């Protein structure tokens, strides 16, 4: 079981549903805090690109990022899951970079 390999603790079947849900709630909280931090950096990148006259979209950079994420996540996620998650994050990132400074 992949989960068991990653967590190195008791198996999922040994935990109650409520315990697992609390665990998911905490992981979601941490995940969204990290995404918020990422998006703050994304806004800074958008400001730099705007000041340098660079386009928001960088297909080469996006392809490299997706490849790194797939490699990093290969043991726990299907490649198409990684592709889908990365695409959503990158789309939101492009949207934020397109916004004017200070929004």
CATH number at residue 30: 1.20.59.10
29 within some domain: yes
Does the model's pTM come out above 0.85?
no
Q: Tell me the per-residue pLDDT of 50-72, one tens digit each, with 9 for 90 and over.
A: 999 999 999 999 999 999 999 98
Q: Which domain holds residue 78?
A: 14-98
Q: Which two tokens stand for residue 95?
A: 């949207």
Compare 79 and 101 and report the one with higher pLDDT. 79
3 within some domain: no
**For the chain, how many structural domains are there in total?**
1
5 within some domain: no
Q: Which of 98, 91, 88, 96 is nearest to 55 (CA)?
A: 98
Instruction: Give residue 7's pLDDT band: very low, low, confident or very high (50, 70, 90).
Output: low
86 within some domain: yes
55 within some domain: yes
58 within some domain: yes
8 Å CB contact between 11 and 4: yes
The pLDDT score that the predictor gives to residue 52 is 97
Per the listing, tokens 């549903």 go with 17
């Amino acid at each position: 079981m992949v989960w068991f390999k990653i967590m190195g603790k008791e198996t999922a079947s040994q935990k109650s549903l409520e315990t697992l849900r609390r665990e998911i709630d905490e992981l979601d909280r941490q995940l969204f805090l990290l995404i918020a931090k990422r998006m703050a950096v994304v806004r800074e990148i958008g400001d730099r690109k705007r000041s340098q006259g660079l386009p928001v979209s960088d297909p080469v950079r996006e392809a490299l990022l997706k490849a790194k994420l797939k490699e990093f996540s290969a043991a726990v996620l299907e490649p198409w899951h990684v592709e889908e998650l990365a695409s959503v994050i990158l789309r939101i990132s492009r949207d934020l970079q397109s916004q004017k400074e200070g929004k």
